[in-house]
Structure 1
Amino acid sequence: MHEWITALADHQARGEPCVLVTIIEERGSTPRNAGSKMVVSASQLFDTIGGGHLEFKALHIARQMLAEQRSTPHLERFSLGASLGQCCGGVTVLLFEPMAPVQAQIAVFGAGHVGRALVPLLAALPCRVRWIDSRPDEFPPSIPHGVTQVLSEEPVDEVAELPVGSYCIVMTHNHQLDLELTAAILARNDFTWFGLIGSKTKRVKFEHRLRERGYDDAVVARMRCPMGLAQVKGKLPIEIAVSIAGEIIATYNACFGQHDAGANAGPIAQLLPPSRRSHAI
């Protein structure tokens, strides 16, 4: 396996930004190979595009992109000759692709049917997932890469361990547990997004109980219930999971670059069409 592949995977797993540099066009009598790649981080270089002054200049451009926190790809055309220390002419085109760090820390409470459909989808995104349940037999034999399985007899206690700005998904097997998790998440009120599975009737019941406990209407309004994109129809676990994943993607795209999103973001419902889904559990 090429060094750049391992380096790219390692940086993604650690949530560390880097730039993937690729030779996409090579014209002239130079020894470089189109398709060669290297990964550049703030302090390290992995693999090579052939060395020499071209690689030195590419390294400088990639590091500048990292320093400026650029998120869009960039093409650079180099005319090879005396200016790049080459003995012969030619043209090399490099593609610089910033690889964004993890965009979302997600906590999924519940390993039921929808949870088992949803977590693999989230694991394929630039996210880190904590998958929490009290029932060991509900977890699948194999946990997706990038997902931390948390077996806890007291799932509500796990709320205090979540990073600020987390995305919280509550879909347990027990309505009372859902309520206690909801109360704990809203008490912190430093999340980016919080979704509770259930119907509009469930939302009304929970709102009433939360107000009885003294929760402010503005805080309760941040709860997405029903959650998921209304445009994604269906009652199958995978269909519900896709709709929830779609809403999370829309949210972290809208909040990208806001490092303190949890403290400042208003209800994500402002960014999304109203949900008409009724997930009765």
Structure 2
Amino acid sequence: MQPWLTDLQQLLTRGDAVVLVTVARAEGSAPREAGAKMIVTRESARYTIGGGHLEWRAIEIAREVLRDGMRVPHLRRLERLSLGPSLGQCCGGAVVLAFERLDVRDLDWVAALAKRVHAGTTTQRSVSFSPSHEPVRLADADPGTRAPECLLWDGAGFDEGDVQLTETIAARDFPVVLFGAEAVGTAFARVLSTLPCRVSWIDADATKFPPQLARAQWANVTIDVKAAPEDAVDTAPPGTAFVVMTHDHARDLVLAERILRRDDFLFFGMIGSRTKRRQFEQRLAAHGIDPARIARMACPIGIDGIDDKAPEVIALSAAAQLLQAVEAARAAPPAVPDQPFSMLQPLTDHDTDTC
């Protein structure tokens, strides 16, 4: 789910008027990419289009649109801002910002878009900035489109009245299956709760999970108690990131073999030492796993150069490595049908075994 879309739907349902600010175009060096969004209300601003004076000026303009829109339904406005001395920013580029005043009358298309994104449907949203205030249009994205993009079609210029913003909104969250609910697993689940992913957190012992009150804000984390956690490997969708953070080496080996017999995972990482890795390499090879596939296992998990074994440090390092894998997969050329993600992962050379 897109967090900004969830917040937008809640605000409109409550009857609030808001301004949706979108980076419609980024020229040269800019703090955020085209498609980045911010929501501005009379009292607050949520999310960011880059911070600094750019954002301060964007909020100022948004509140003007919010006020002027009380007389003009569906008021929309475009502004080109240079990121130089006039804004006190050193990026040197420029951005075109799109401002859309929304209220309860926009709830239908916002709810429809939220439903499509929740279902994983990549959607094209088109917004006209002509004086006629045409309604927002939603349509299926072109076949094969898998990445978000944002294009501003400005014809002969902003003053010609034929400007249109077309953006592709794709579900950005990715599935994660996390095994282990002890200290490191809990720290990692806490980090994942702040990221755009859907987490299935699995352990055989229900008492290891933190109390519900402690995880009340972890909306994207689902707890699953399984007597045989390895069964969750087979039911996970293609493109899943598997992370093993238990302290049961025998179970870890079973999980590793089950995961590596699939060839459609986004990422596979496991806490452990270099010694544990060498032992697992030998045993997995003896079980018939191709060494090239074993090489995809990130164990010890985490980015290179961070050796601290505190659970919170391991969790942040592992999350950074996972995000690297996600970015690499999204940047990779379209894959063949039976291999939806690039799965080659860099190996690390440090221990994350907390035993």
When normalised by structure 2's length, the TM-score is 0.59
Counterpart AA for 1:54: H
RMSD between aligned alpha carbons? Answer: 4.1
The structure in which a higher percent of residues are helix is 1
Structure 1 segment 30-49 matched on structure 2, within 5 A: 31=72, 32=75, 36-37=101-102, 40=109
1:222 Cα deviation (Å)? 1.2
What is the aligned-residue identity percentage? 29
CA change 1:261–1:105 in 2 (3 A) is farther
Within 5 A, what are the aligned runs for 1:1-281? 5=7, 7=9, 25=61, 31=72, 32=75, 36-37=101-102, 40=109, 53-56=132-135, 59-60=136-137, 63=139, 66-67=141-142, 71-73=148-150, 99-142=169-212, 143=215, 144-256=218-330, 262=339, 265-269=342-346, 274-280=347-353, 281=355
Partner amino acid for 1:179? L
What is the CA–CA distance in structure 2 between the aligned matches of 1:228 and 1:119, rounded to whole Å?
A: 15
Distance change >3 Å, CA 72–CA 237, structure 1 → 2: same
| Cα separation, 2, equivalents of 1:233 and 1:223 | 19
The one-letter amino acid paired with 2:205 is R
Change in 2 beyond 3 A, CA 1:115/1:98: farther
Distance 1:44 1:98, change over 3 A: closer
The CA distance in 2 between the partners of 1:35 and 1:136, in whole Å, is: 47
- Cα distance in 2 for residues equivalent to 1:253 and 1:42: 28
Distance 1:98 1:177, change over 3 A: same
Structure 1 unaligned blocks of 5 or more = 10-17, 85-92
**What 5-or-longer segments of structure 2 have no aligned partner?**
12-34, 41-57, 77-98, 116-126
Name the CA distance, whole Å, in 2 between partners of 1:245 and 1:45: 26
TM-score (norm 1): 0.73
How far apart are the structure 2 equivalents of 1:162 and 1:238?
Answer: 26
- Does structure 1 retain, via aligned residues, the 8 Å contact 2:304–2:350? yes
In the other structure, the counterpart of 1:12 is none
Instruction: Measure how far apart 1:71 and its partner are.
Output: 2.1
Larger RCO: 1 or 2 (CA < 8 Å, sep 6+): 1
Letter in 1 for 2:148: S
C-alpha distance after superposition, 1:98-140 (max 9, x if no partner): 6541342110000111111011211211111110001111101
Describe the SS at the equivalent of 1:268. Answer: coil
Q: Does the CA-based 8 Å contact 1:110-1:133 persist in structure 2?
A: yes
Alignment check: 8 A CA contact 1:170 1:196 kept: yes
| Kept in 2: contact 1:229–1:243 (CA 8 A) | yes
- CA distance in structure 1 between the aligned counterparts of 2:10 and 2:305, rounded to whole angstroms: 34
Could you report, residue by residue, the CA deviation over 1:171-218 in whole angstroms, capped at 9, with x for unpaired residues?
112110000111111112321111111011000001111122122111
| CA distance in 2: counterparts of 1:201 and 1:7, whole angstroms | 50
CA offsets 1:212-234 (integer angstroms, 9 cap, x no match):
21221111111111111113341
For the 8 Å contact 1:123–1:147, the answer to whether it is kept is yes
CA contact (8 A) 2:265 2:341 kept: no
Deviation at 1:70, TM superposition (A): 5.8
| Amino acid in structure 1 at the alignment position of 2:172 | V
